[in-house]
Amino acid sequence: MSKQTLSFQAEVAQLLHLVTHSLYSNKEIFLRELISNASDACDKLRFEAINDGGLYENDTDLQVKVTFDKDAKTLTITDNGIGMSAQEAIDHLGTIAKSGTKDFVSKLSGDQKADSQLIGQFGVGFYSGFIVADKITVESRRAGMKTTEGVRWVSGGAGDFEVETIDRAQRGTSVTLHLREDSMDYASAWKVKSIINKYSDHISLPILMEKEEWKDGELIDPNDEKGGRQPGGMVKTGTWETVNKASAIWTRAKKDITPEQYDEFYKQISHDMEAPLAYTHNRVEGSTEFTQLLYIPGKAPFDLYNREKSAGVKLYVKRVFIMDDAEALLPTYLRFVKGVLDSADLPLNVSRELLQESRDVKAIREGCTKRVLGMLEDLAKNDKLPDAAASAEGVTDVLSAEEKAEAEKNAGKYTKFYKEFGAVLKEGLGEDFANKDRIAKLLRFASSISDAVSVSFADYKARMKEGQEAIYYITADTLAAAKNSPQLEVFKKKGIEVLLMTDRVDEWALNYVHEFDGTPLQSVAKGAVDLGKLQDEAEKKALDEAAETFKPLLAKLKEALKDKAEDVRVTTRLVDSPACLVVQDHGMSTQLARMLKQAGQTAPDVKPVLEVNAEHPLVKKLDGSVHFNDLAHILFDQALLAEGGMPADPAAYVKRVNALLV
């Protein structure tokens, strides 16, 4: 192939522009990204070579070399991994294969700070080289291909790139960064080493740099910051040294790993710029042996709700990387977890199909699920600072300074987690029957007495009124709609707390939880209100009487609304509102039906029950009104509006109201 110039995919061009403009404050990450690509390329070679040893071409010492040339102003990262064919270079370095790229690019706002956060999550990878380089040259040859089938790829990071075929004896890839004037400090051994130290110590491959020594150097003052040597300067010696620890972090003993190193590893695998909320690192021995290093991120990725998105856990078998989207390793509702699993028992050539069926994988999955739930329980337990009042009373021991610092470090983490991932966790209620109770304990809600999403079922139970027999809840599209729902009126009047559920997944998830710790859950919008012992005799009697006196009116209403309402009855659940809609005990809620329809799915046409407040002046006036029919429909449509719904015929509704106003 002779030299040709090709354009970047539109999204790449856009991304490149942003990379060079937004990531400026965190320049040095480019080295982590490029070394990580080099390391992935070696992992891929090792994996493909399981079935085809010839790919090694008699060179099995996989490694990454980092060199620089001050005069040429270049920094080069070379690996002897899988390499790229010309077509692969065009495809992989000119387009972004990741699903959701378009979505991602469309979310970028142009606000540098916000964008750099987003870009961090997306993982800029190779393109980050353009933060420090105004030109990048990639030379590569794919393992197993002829030496005449090498490729050179060159780009200035604007709209296009050049590719051509070259001779290349060496297998693998070198990426040469032509450093920008303001990034020349990366052409220094000391600087590069310190970055590798910070970001890439745990890469399991050796990272090599050429040793340097002082030419004619004479020690003048060792404390001088320039090293105090003669001007001959540092010269390369032609020998190489390994500059990283080169042992995969998860294979090292916990006591030898600092929290900072754990955090760094997380940032590397997750592309997150923030530290994780929690991690767990264990070697599990038993019928199946594996090592797990799992993290809970503090921030949701932009594609969290894409259930098809690749899982965040990488699978290794005896330190050989196998795949990085092994969804069989963790249930879907824990897809936010990042980390590494290294199994000692699975075969190296394990396929996806085999993973699905493997008993070892099942054990790993259960083990990991338990660990993650355990981490979340710990976060939840430590979310609040120990109560000052309680400790003053001597109820809790007075904390030592260390314990206090620890408590402060952990406070608020669960709240943060829940804000980002609570809705996803709820999917587990329907997905993970075995752990349903543990998941239910981890849920938090807003309630009629707390706007903050912080009320657990246990908190609720502890506050239940004497004689209260159910945990009451309401689902709605927004917190405001839930809080102001007419259905809540009687509960407010009696001071009974109601949980407010506003996540889309709530309706669905609640199908799987009927009780908590022996107390049934009861929607305040389903079935007739039964406040049980909370209702006194007088109220019950009043209701019975109203039902009797209103019988003829109810029959007329039922007739007028026969296309809209399943039934019409009087209720005690309302205080200020004239009417509300409820569904039959086991019916699908109107909110769920609405959601299904919005999603383009067929939902059964649930006709709700209209409940009217016998005490309300509007209801009292109904009987004998010449506008009976209009009022009946207005009553119904208003009840629909009050719960966030929409009248079937909004124009007719407006007409009726206007007619009455006039």
* Residues at the site binding ligand ADP, with contacts judged by CB under 6 A: 37-38, 41, 79, 81-84, 92-93, 123, 125-127, 173
Nearer to ligand ADP, 52 or 451 (CB): 52
- CA dist 336 and 334 (Å) reads 5
CB of 148 to ligand ADP, least distance (A): 19
- Cα dist. 23→26, 120, 131, 297 in Å? 5, 9, 7, 21
Nearer to ligand ADP, 173 or 468 (CB): 173
Nearer to ligand ADP, 92 or 436 (CB): 92
Structure token pair of residue 627: 């506008």
Nearer to ligand ADP, 93 or 187 (CB): 93
CB of 267 to ligand ADP, least distance (A): 14
Which parts of 203-274 are beta strand (E)? 207-214, 234-242
- CA dist 310 and 127 (Å) reads 21
- Cα dist. 503→373, 418, 475, 480, 482 in Å? 21, 12, 8, 13, 11
Q: Which residue is nearest to ligand ADP (CB)?
A: 125
Nearer to ligand ADP, 79 or 643 (CB): 79
Please give the backbone phi and psi of residue 136, each rounded to the nearest 5 degrees, phi first: -125, 130
Nearer to ligand ADP, 142 or 281 (CB): 142
Burial of 628 (0-12, 13-18, 19+ CB in 10 A): middle
Q: Which of 244, 13, 31, 197 is nearest to 125 (CA)?
A: 31
Nearer to ligand ADP, 48 or 477 (CB): 48
Please give the backbone phi and psi of residue 5, each rounded to the nearest 5 degrees, phi first: -105, 130
CB of 32 to ligand ADP, least distance (A): 11
CB of 364 to ligand ADP, least distance (A): 25
DSSP calls for 520-588: EEEETTBSS---GGGS-HHHHHHHHHHHHHTHHHHHHHHHHTTTT-SEEEEESS-SS-SEEEEB-TTSP
Structure token pair of residue 71: 């005069």
CB of 496 to ligand ADP, least distance (A): 52
Q: Which of 80, 76, 187, 180 is nearest to 138 (CA)?
A: 76
Residue 242: which region, alpha, beta or left (left: phi > 0; alpha: psi -120 to 50)? beta
Nearer to ligand ADP, 37 or 67 (CB): 37
CB of 34 to ligand ADP, least distance (A): 7
CB of 316 to ligand ADP, least distance (A): 17
Nearer to ligand ADP, 93 or 192 (CB): 93
CB of 97 to ligand ADP, least distance (A): 7
CB of 83 to ligand ADP, least distance (A): 6
